[in-house]
Amino acid sequence: MKKKFTSIVLILLYFTNFAQNTWEQITPTGDIPTARQGHSMVTIDSLIYLFGGADNNKTFGIEAENFIAVSDNTRVVKTVKTGRSSFDTIHTYDSSFMEWSEEEPSNTPPPARHGHKAIVKDGKMYVFFGKGNSSALDDIWQYNPATKEWTQIIPSSTTNPVARYDHTATLVGNMVWIMGGLDNSENLLNALWASNFTSNIWEHYPSLTETELNGHTAATYNGKLDFFGGFGGGFMNSTIYEFSPGSGNWAEYSPQGDPLGPFAYGSSVQYGPNTVFIFSGKVGTNISIQDCFLWDLTNHTFTQLANGPDVANAAAALCPNGFYDKSNYEEFVVFGGAADGTLVDSTWIYTSNIETPSGINESEPTDITIFPNPAQDFITIEISDENLQSQELNYQLCDITGRIIVSNKISTTKELIDVSGEAAGMYFIRICNGNKIIEIIKTIKE
């Protein structure tokens, strides 16, 4: 008996350690988006919203020229004009159910695009610019998930930024800052603009005079704007450029820590006031990388994370409902992109070392137990809460990748699940009230 207990403890410790700073490619169900690149993903409430993207594998408009390496690890590149076909659709991802769904807006969507950027403000998604099927775009659109309605935002300013794509959009307070990108003639841009939500006008700020940028990563710290990576002035950018809106001044910093060299078209998510996760990216024509980094904005230090999917020009978002580990580490979803020039429709989960503020059940405690754990042939779900017994509950048995193995209604206070035919390993049981998860329980099949 002691030997069995020790084995169970070791298995649990293995999966606890496995859950931190690790990647898993999952197999979600539902309307999985078509393989694409240059799309956007944002998290609103309990869902991730994916919009747009390009569906062929003419990638990025960037081509290596002799691939000359220099002392600061930059690479010589040139731009080439390519054509792509784009999407105007929205997909939502429910991380609780590991399910993609195509959302049907209540009105006509904006023109199809890729290379745009999206931000979230007051529970709504705002989409800025992008490349359409024939030309670059200079428009702004708002999507309201509550009404499923698109609304075009028409600025009242007379001078506005030129159409562009592969820029960045960063929300700071009541302003969205647009930096760099490529215009309709594939010219690189260095202009800095801010869209003011209060006045609904565009404001022009001092440009970055050192170089132009596209495919870079942007972040905000202490009211300042930071930009790193991407292509600039014919080279891959290895400098951190920082803009202070208060003074209107630019500053330059050298990245510290682990980066092996600059890269472009990584997917990124800012977490909290001073941390940015950058997932994979690109270092040349059809050459994507697996390197992933944590960018500490307080001291411009990069820490290398576990290698992730080998893709570039994908999109990433914070996972609103953690699944893998009940000890609650923040998770991120990465979808799509190009792997060495080939578009993919893969969904990946990155589980970080950052603990979430609270447990999954702290806000809604339940009286649900499963036994035995570990199990051999059968698992019993026992519902002892009378209020829950009156609800229309269902369960889902899932493997470690999130694949639903079996699901059914819970019709008794002691529901039996047959697992005799399943392989030994770790599983999850999700207890749901309708579409809402009320409990996730780990179990081990011996």
Instruction: Give 137-173 as a DSSP string.
Output: EEEEEEEETTTTEEEEE----SS-PPPBBS-EEEEET
Quote the domain boundaries for residue 414: 363-445
What percent of the chain is modeled with pLDDT above 90? 59
State pLDDT tens for residues 31-72. 999 999 999 999 998 899 999 999 874 444 433 333 333 334
Give the integer Cα–Cα distance in Å for 283 and 59. Answer: 12
Give the integer Cα–Cα distance in Å for 396 and 392. Answer: 14
Instruction: Specify the CATH number for the domain of residue 340.
Output: 2.120.10.80
- For residue 74, is pLDDT > 60? no
Q: Which of 315, 332, 355 is the last residue of a domain?
A: 355
Are residues 396 and 329 part of one domain?
no
pTM summary value: 0.76
Residue 405: the pLDDT is: 84
Residue 80: the pLDDT is: 38
Ramachandran angles phi, psi of 380, nearest 5°:
-105, 130
Are residues 227 and 316 part of one domain?
yes
Are residues 324 and 440 part of one domain?
no
Residue 60: the pLDDT is: 40
Upper half-sphere CA count for residue 209 (Cβ side, 13 Å) = 6
User: Given pLDDT bands bounded at 50, 70 and 90, which one contains residue 402?
Assistant: low
Q: Which of the 8 DSSP states describes residue 438?
A: E
Are residues 417 and 310 part of one domain?
no
**338: nearest Cα among 114, 87, 37:** 37
Q: Is residue 321 part of a domain?
A: yes
Are residues 367 and 345 part of one domain?
no
Calculate the alpha carbon distances from 46 to 91, 137, 322, 430, 436 in Å: 14, 30, 10, 16, 10
Are residues 253 and 196 part of one domain?
yes
Q: Is residue 18 part of a domain?
A: no
Mean pLDDT of 380-409: 82
Helix (H, G, I), strand (E, B) or coil at 237: coil
Residues 6+ apart with CB under 8 A from 20: 325, 329, 351, 352, 353
Are residues 117 and 34 part of one domain?
yes
Residue 401: the pLDDT is: 56
Are residues 328 and 233 part of one domain?
yes
Helix (H, G, I), strand (E, B) or coil at 121: strand
Instruction: Specify the CATH number for the domain of residue 382.
Output: 2.60.40.10
Residues 91-129 as b/e (b if ≥16 CB within 10 A, e otherwise) read bbbbbbbbbbbebebeeebbbbbbbbbbbbeeebbbbbb
Tokens (6 digits) for 381: 């779900």
Q: Is residue 6 part of a domain?
A: no
Q: How many structural domains compose the chain?
A: 2
Q: Are 418 and 378 in contact (CB under 8 A)?
A: yes
Q: Which of 339, 355, 371 is the last residue of a domain?
A: 355
Q: Is residue 90 part of a domain?
A: yes
Q: Which of 355, 390, 415 is the last residue of a domain?
A: 355
Q: β-strands 301-304, 256-257: how paired?
A: parallel
Are residues 394 and 327 part of one domain?
no
Give the integer Cα–Cα distance in Å for 355 and 151. Answer: 37
Q: Is residue 13 part of a domain?
A: no
Q: Is residue 209 part of a domain?
A: yes
Are residues 252 and 389 part of one domain?
no
- For residue 3, is pLDDT > 80? no
Are residues 372 and 334 part of one domain?
no
- Give one DSSP letter per residue of 352-375, joined into a string: EEEEPSS-TTTTS---EEEESSSB
Out of 14-28, 249-263, 269-283, least confident range: 14-28
- Give one DSSP letter per residue of 413-434, joined into a string: SEEEEE-TTSPSEEEEEEEEET
Out of 9-18, 105-114, 230-239, least confident range: 9-18
Q: Is residue 346 part of a domain?
A: yes
| 152 or 440, which is more confident | 152
Q: Is residue 149 part of a domain?
A: yes
State pLDDT tens for residues 109-131. 999 999 999 999 989 999 999 99
Are residues 347 and 370 part of one domain?
no
Residue 359: the pLDDT is: 35
Give ∠ CA 431-437-439 in degrees, rounded to 5.
50
